[in-house]
Amino acid sequence: MTDNCCFDDIRPYHDGEVSEVLARIMDSPDLSLVLARWRFPRLSRWLPAVMAWAVRRHLRRQLGQLTSVAEVQLVVARYMQRMMDATVTELSVSGFDRLPTDKAYLFISNHRDIALDPAFVNMALYQYGQQTVRIAIGDNLLTKPYVADLMRLNKSFIVKRSATSPREKLKASKQLSAFIQHSLQQEHSHVWLAQREGRAKDGNDCTNAAIISMLTLNRPKTQEYADYIRELNIVPVAISYEWDPCDAAKTQELFSLCQTGEYRKQAHEDIASIAAGIAGFKGHVHLAFGEPLQGDYANAEAVAAEIDRQIWQNYRLYPSNLQAYQQMTGKDYTAKDMVALTDCQQQTAQFQRRLQSIASDQQQIFLAMYANPVLNKQREVPQAIPSEQEAPLSSANAVN
């Protein structure tokens, strides 16, 4: 059994640490100023110190009496519900009712939104009376101390992406692998991981086999590879957004990569993306929980391929995806029974408005972002395969 103190620098906070961490958060002048500018933008321009003081006072009233992670998450859930009321027309869930409720699962999902992907998984779990997940988050997002504190209070654990030397990277990966196994098998806690580092900005959801290799670093040498994978209870999760609030920003980033070979993020740009994703309109959001991986997998590539297969198959398409596919390929998608029932006429008009707001030389990238889920699904649904096999559209060939 692994000593839990080995994880102190990456694990979520415990109940006994909540009061101290909240006091530190509430005393953060950076957080008070950020919240004041977000909640009272005009007044904060003229009276920044006064509005920051008012926000700090409000935080103390709201958070000062909390003493457990569960109480913190109830506050988070209230804010999540307000966000959903304003930006989500429907959150639907499929597949979870087929999973036995007496097991801890490693949920591996496609990655479209920095904060909301695991947040929606948590909402689904809460709906079924299940414990929430421990969330993997890269230390590149924790650019402010209060951000790290807030994330770890919300059951996030840290992935050390800032490690530079091969030795440091291996040490961090082994620690992460051990922590995930410890969470699942010793503490019986659900865990959430993205299928790749960074969001699938081009809409092409593919699992990085290196993620699977990391998971197996803690496998005993005497244990068969497939047995270890089965013990992890990996469940692929397909998260489908009707609209991506960050689609325009992602398009610009991909265009820059195609034109110059690089994209330099501004300071705290990831935090701005989190805010944009939370505040932006998403429409219908669907979560499809797949089946636990129980096959005789020989290596990380085989595991990644099965995760991809389930995510592609279970991805819920919307008319926006079909519009993009039709305009990109000139073809119709015939398996309409797989498309979410929405107002297609209204969606068509909305999609065209969004497309026209994108610079003309970037529109092919925008179309590929919404069309790639259709192409991936065709690779896994025989009746939808066209006469010539199509592959997902990369940002590079979208521009050419």
pLDDT of residue 118: 96
Does residue 89 sit in helix, strand or coil? strand
* CA gap 313, 292 in Å, rounded: 15
- Arithmetic mean of pLDDT, 226-251: 96
Asked whether residue 207 falls in the same domain as residue 328, the answer is: no
Model confidence band, residue 274 (pLDDT cutoffs 50, 70, 90): confident
Asked whether residue 204 falls in the same domain as residue 335, the answer is: no
Model confidence band, residue 337 (pLDDT cutoffs 50, 70, 90): low
| pLDDT, greater one: 272 or 6 | 6
Residue where a domain terminates, one of 288, 310, 332: 310
Asked whether residue 227 falls in the same domain as residue 345, the answer is: no
20 is a domain residue? no
- Arithmetic mean of pLDDT, 135-153: 92
* CA gap 49, 32 in Å, rounded: 9
30 is a domain residue? no
Pairing of strands 283-289, 234-241: antiparallel
341 is a domain residue? yes
pLDDT digits (tens, 9 = 90+) for 83-97: 999 999 999 999 998
pLDDT digits (tens, 9 = 90+) for 183-227: 999 999 999 999 999 899 999 999 999 999 999 999 999 999 999
Model confidence band, residue 245 (pLDDT cutoffs 50, 70, 90): very high
Contact 366, 355 (CB under 8 A): yes
pLDDT digits (tens, 9 = 90+) for 147-170: 899 999 999 999 999 888 999 999
Identify the CA nearest to 132 among candidates 119, 141, 148.
119
231 is a domain residue? yes
pLDDT of residue 370: 96
Sign of CA dihedral 27, 31, 33, 38: negative
Contact 12, 134 (CB under 8 A): yes
Asked whether residue 224 falls in the same domain as residue 334, the answer is: no
Q: What range defines the domain where residue 345 resides?
A: 319-399
What the block records as the tokens of 15 is 């109940």
Asked whether residue 233 falls in the same domain as residue 285, the answer is: yes
Asked whether residue 87 falls in the same domain as residue 205, the answer is: yes
CATH of the domain at 179: 3.40.1130
Asked whether residue 282 falls in the same domain as residue 380, the answer is: no
- Arithmetic mean of pLDDT, 266-277: 78
pLDDT digits (tens, 9 = 90+) for 102-123: 999 999 999 999 899 999 999 9
Asked whether residue 175 falls in the same domain as residue 98, the answer is: yes
Asked whether residue 395 carries a pLDDT value surpassing 50, the answer given is no
128 is a domain residue? yes
Model confidence band, residue 379 (pLDDT cutoffs 50, 70, 90): confident
26 is a domain residue? no
* HEC sequence for 129-174: CCCCCEEEEEHHHCCCHHHHHHHHHCCEEEECCCCCCHHHHHHHHH
Asked whether residue 9 falls in the same domain as residue 149, the answer is: yes
Residue where a domain terminates, one of 310, 328, 344: 310
Looking at the structure of the chain, the number of domains it has is 2
pLDDT of residue 386: 35
Asked whether residue 91 falls in the same domain as residue 235, the answer is: yes
Asked whether residue 185 falls in the same domain as residue 104, the answer is: yes
99 is a domain residue? yes
Model confidence band, residue 391 (pLDDT cutoffs 50, 70, 90): very low
pLDDT of residue 224: 96
184 is a domain residue? yes
Asked whether residue 383 carries a pLDDT value surpassing 80, the answer given is no
Asked whether residue 272 falls in the same domain as residue 139, the answer is: yes
Model confidence band, residue 387 (pLDDT cutoffs 50, 70, 90): very low
In the DSSP assignment, the letter for residue 204 is -
Contacts of 326 (CB under 8 A, 6+ apart): 332, 333
